Amino acid sequence: MLIIGERLNGMFKRVKKAIADKNKDEILAVVQEQINDGAGMIDINVGTAAADQQGTMQWLVETVQEKYPGFPLAVDSSKVEVLEAGLKVCQNPVLINSTTAEDEKLEKLLGLAAEYKADILGLTLDENGIPSQKDERVALGAKILMMAMEMGLSPESVYLDPVVLPVKFGQDQCVGMIEAIRDIKTALNDPAPKTAVGLSNISNGVPKEMRSLVNRTYLVMCLAAGLDSAIVDPHDQELVNAMITAELLMNKQIYSDSFIKAYRAAHG
């Protein structure tokens, strides 16, 4: 599974301060630590750290790719213009995080994905919000995928995200979100699109000391359904160990008695 590291986000104090101070070393430390812990892609999100979101996105992208040329990055914003600003300067392989299935936004962002040869993550929500039913999530995923393919994107460059809701508030949808991943992987297209989740949302509102348990348990369930990638905190060791073990049990990593160490050595 691809670990998309979530820590380079302006909502975290450390990153917010580094942005304010234009402290490249601190930004690069946040990146290096995530790579050490197994991140295969770095998500870059300005958050509310700066008034000039476009300029800040560009500075972050340039800062990271100068030190890590070729390392996969995700430009992350709900604003099209911030995503586009990041794409303009990004030389590394890049994922647009994210579009929705809203017609106007989808068309605009798929156009950018085609123009910049970027992968794109699509959230299965539209003008009507997040569907409560699994089949509606899959239908919105199909819409995103079909439009992407019509615009010349390969299905494997599309990451569909069924939009994880907190168990505390959307408990009856937790199974449906997993089943949406299964359907997307088996029923939409051959080759299938990729799947992704913003994992930590599952435990929003859960007492702090139990969030990791909820996150890693849900991640294992999603992996068993065919999940390809997740935006997570790579520093949560128990989460990553659970992921490695689930992949072992799915026969995606050859067994050895030191399978955790072997994985970390290969991916760190």
What are the residues binding a second copy (CB under 8 A)? 167-168, 171-172, 174-175, 178, 202, 206-207, 210, 213-214, 217-218, 220-221, 223-225, 241-242, 245-246, 248-251, 254-255, 257-260
Torsion over CA: 127, 109, 95, 82 (sign) = negative
Amino acid at 22: K
Are the beta carbons of 138 and 183 closer than 8 angstroms?
yes
At 95, is the secondary structure helix, strand, or coil?
strand
Cβ distance to a second copy smaller for residue 43 or 233: 233
Cβ distance to a second copy smaller for residue 17 or 252: 252
Q: Which of 249, 225, 104 is nearest to 175 (CA)?
A: 225
Minimal distance in Å, beta carbon 245 to a second copy?
A: 4
Both tokens of residue 244?
């490695």
Tell me the sheet residues that pair with 102.
Answer: none
Minimal distance in Å, beta carbon 170 to a second copy?
A: 10
Minimal distance in Å, beta carbon 66 to a second copy?
A: 38
Cβ distance to a second copy smaller for residue 31 or 227: 227
d(CA 38, CA 32) in angstroms, rounded, equals 10
Cβ distance to a second copy smaller for residue 76 or 183: 183
Cβ distance to a second copy smaller for residue 130 or 181: 181
**Cα–Cα separations (whole angstroms), residue 253 to 21, 79, 110, 192, 235:** 42, 38, 34, 21, 21
Minimal distance in Å, beta carbon 79 to a second copy?
A: 32
Minimal distance in Å, beta carbon 176 to a second copy?
A: 10
Are the beta carbons of 200 and 164 closer than 8 angstroms?
no
Cβ distance to a second copy smaller for residue 50 or 213: 213
Q: How many CB atoms lie within 10 A of CB 171?
A: 10
